[in-house]
Structures are given as C-alpha cells and as structure tokens.
Amino acid sequence: MNRLRLGYIGLGLMGKPMALNLLNAGFPLVVHNRSRQKVEELAALGAGAAESPREVAERSDVVFTNLPDTPDVLAVALGENGVITGAHPGLIFVDHSTIKPAASREIYRRMAEVGVQSLDAPVSGGDIGAQQGTLSIMVGGDADALEKVMPALTAVGKTITHVGGPGAGQVAKACNQIMVAAQMVAMGELLIFAQKAGADPEKVVSAIRGGAAQCWTLDVKPQRLLAGNRAPGFRSSLQSKDLNIVMETAREYGISLPSAGLAAQLYAALCANGGGDLDNSAIIGVIEALNNTELRHL
C-alpha cells in the first residue's frame, strides 16, 4: 500500500479515470464531486467519499483538482469550505485543470501563506490518455513539491516535465492548445479539400501522415470523423475555453497570435451553433458549413 493519502476533486471525463488509476495503484483515496453518482461509483471500488473540498484536504496529504475553468478552481481551492480551509502541515495542492497562468500564481501565493505547497500540473492526451495512464503532465511550481508527489503522478502520466516556477505549467498547456487547435483546423480543411478536389480523404491521410505532416491528430482523429463519430474525446467547449485563456494571456503580455486568434473564432462559432459538446475535431463542421458540404462517411 502506498503511504501518500490522496484526495481528488472533479470526476469528469478526465478526472474520473485519473482518480481510478490512482486507486488501482494502491493509494488511499478520498474523492469529491458535484455529481454524487461518480463519487458513489468510486466509493464502491474502495475510495472514501467527502462532502466538501475542505474535508478532502483534511483527510489527504495531496489534493488533486481537475475542474472545467478558472472560476471553478479558484472556488474549490480558495473559497468557502475550499481546500485552503482544510490546510495542515505538509499538504500539497496539485491542479490538473487548464486555467489562466495568473490564477495559478495567485493560488500558489495564497496557499504558501498557510504553509501549503502548490503545483499547477495541466495534462494533455485526452480521455484515452487518462484511461491508459499515459498523459503528458506539464508542471509549474517548486521542484521539491513535485518530487514528493511524483509517485502519484507516475500512476496517471507517462511524460512528466517540470517546466518552471508557478504558472509555468499553465503556460506550457496554453502552448499545447495553440498547436492542438491549429492541427484540428488544418485536419478539417485538408479532409474537405481532398474530398471536394476529387480525392479519397482516407487515402490522402494515409499518404501524408508518413511524411512531414505526421502528427498525433492525423494518427488518431480522421478515422473517427470518417466513421461519423464526433463524440468527445475532448469537448469543443473546453477547447474554446482554452483558446480564450491563450488570447487573454497574450493580451496581458502584448503578444500577437493571429493564427490562434482565428482558431479561437472558429471554435466560438462551433459552440455558438450547438457544437460545444462535440469532440474538438468536430471543428470540421465549421469548415463544412463554409464550403456547403459534408464529409462523406465510410
């Protein structure tokens, strides 16, 4: 049995399989979630159930959060009955959410005031990576805190990189989302281009992904789209939220990101037209609408 007592808050598409991997690795685990059903499902497998983030903190050595957006993390970490109210000597707070770097730095500062170490540790790899424990984890914060929680992180991630100080993990995740969005949009464009120009999109993907165009997106997503599957995955609403974080942070630092700005607008259009709960590869739907066509299914 691993000695670190772990707490997990946020049992969504990513959080639930990650928490399950921690439980299966032998860590004592207590969980909390707004939807009680997911808590009960993990409790049936051996996890403890908590009524609040404060209780999770009181019963844990390390508290992990995996939540949708910046306001959610701030409320759970610093709000009434939040993690900070359950602070005790040796507690470490690890946030796997994707939020604004400035917010992660604020959490780090506030937690340090009560003797709690804090890491921003967003992840990449989607629901498949979460299920298989092969996520890429980008970490900002103190190296000694990362060393203490490394046994738990290796149960959920394959690549764990200490990027730098507080907020650096979130900066890395924003960079990741710039690239992911660009790939998703480009893939949508090339599939529609191939089809309208008279070539088989499936064969085009096979032809190009062995060369300079090779990327995770082309390895994983085209077959899903060609089969008519646009279920998440990673929701387009979250991709849109992450791109908003990119653009807001870019404005803070006076950075010009023309391509990321266009991707942000395309995802905003997808969400405005009811596609927010679809996979982020469903951005092809905007390309379809612009070209008055639909990708033919296999």
- Whole-model pTM? 0.93
As to burial, measured by CB atoms within 10 angstroms (0-12 exposed, 13-18 middle, 19+ buried), residue 22 is buried
The residue type of 175 is: C
Domain ranges of the chain: 6-164, 171-290
- Nearest C-alpha neighbor of 137 from the set 101, 97, 108: 97
Say if 6-164 and 171-290 have the same CATH topology. no
User: Parallel, antiparallel, or unpaired: how do β-strands 123-124 and 135-140 relate?
Assistant: antiparallel
Q: Which residues are catalytic?
A: 173
Is 6-164 in CATH node 3.40.190.10?
A: no
So what CATH class is 171-290? mainly alpha
Give the DSSP letter string of 114-168.
Answer: TT-EEEE--EESHHHHHHHT-EEEEEES-HHHHHHHHHHHTTTEEEEEEEESTTH
List, in sequence order, every residue forming a beta bridge with 36; answer none if it has no partner. none
For the chain, 298 residues long, give each residue's pLDDT as a single digit of tens. Answer: 568 999 999 999 999 999 999 999 999 999 999 999 999 999 999 999 999 999 999 999 999 999 999 999 999 999 999 999 999 999 999 999 999 999 999 999 999 999 999 999 999 988 889 999 999 999 999 999 999 999 999 999 999 999 999 999 999 999 999 999 999 999 999 999 999 999 999 999 999 999 999 999 999 999 999 999 999 988 999 999 999 999 999 999 999 999 999 999 999 999 999 999 999 999 999 999 999 999 998 7
